[in-house]
């Protein structure tokens, strides 16, 4: 049914991703397909890493751990953004095209007041992606 899963991950909040990571791993094992974990970083120092190279190393370590822990075939893709807070949606769509995934599994954040002002990244991707998007709350 599906051939590849893309999972956007925010390494700064990896502790809040377990439900989405578990869902992606379950689907990966069920359909015997690989998972590509996508991380987006800026060119400037951030809470996870000081450089994109350091971020890539941390994402690779995260993916290696996830693959071993969950028994799946996994890879990583780091996308560099000049300002992830502004162009995260477009960067995720670009990553989707680059990975060739036909399913996105992503975590949702807890809705609140900001959603009345700003649209969610998961909502944007679900509305604009040419593939199925499973948003896990």
Report the alpha-carbon distance of residue 104 to residue 126 in Å, rounded: 9
Least confident interval from 24-33, 76-85, 108-117, 122-131: 108-117
- Name which residue leads in pLDDT, 20 or 124: 20
Report the alpha-carbon distance of residue 3 to residue 71 in Å, rounded: 17
Residue spans of the domains in the chain: they are: 5-136
pTM for this model (two decimals) = 0.91
Task: Name the DSSP letter for residue 131.
Answer: S
Task: Provide mean pLDDT across the span 71-75.
Answer: 99
According to the model, what pLDDT value does residue 117 have? 40
CATH number of 5-136: 3.40.50.620
């Amino acid at each position: 049914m599906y051939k590849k899963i893309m999972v956007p991950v925010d390494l700064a909040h990896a502790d809040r991703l377990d439900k989405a990571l578990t869902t992606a791993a379950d689907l990966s094992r069920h359909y015997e397909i690989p998972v590509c974990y996508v991380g987006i970083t800026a060119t400037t120092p951030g809470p996870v890493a000081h450089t994109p190279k350091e971020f890539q190393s941390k994402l690779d370590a995260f993916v290696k751990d996830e693959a071993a822990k969950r028994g799946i075939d996994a890879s990583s893709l780091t996308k560099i953004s000049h300002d992830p807070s502004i162009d995260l949606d477009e960067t995720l769509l670009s990553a989707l095209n680059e990975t060739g995934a036909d399913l996105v599994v992503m975590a949702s954040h807890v809705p609140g007041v900001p959603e009345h002002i700003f649209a969610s990244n998961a909502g944007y991707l679900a509305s604009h992606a040419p593939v199925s998007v499973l948003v896990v709350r």
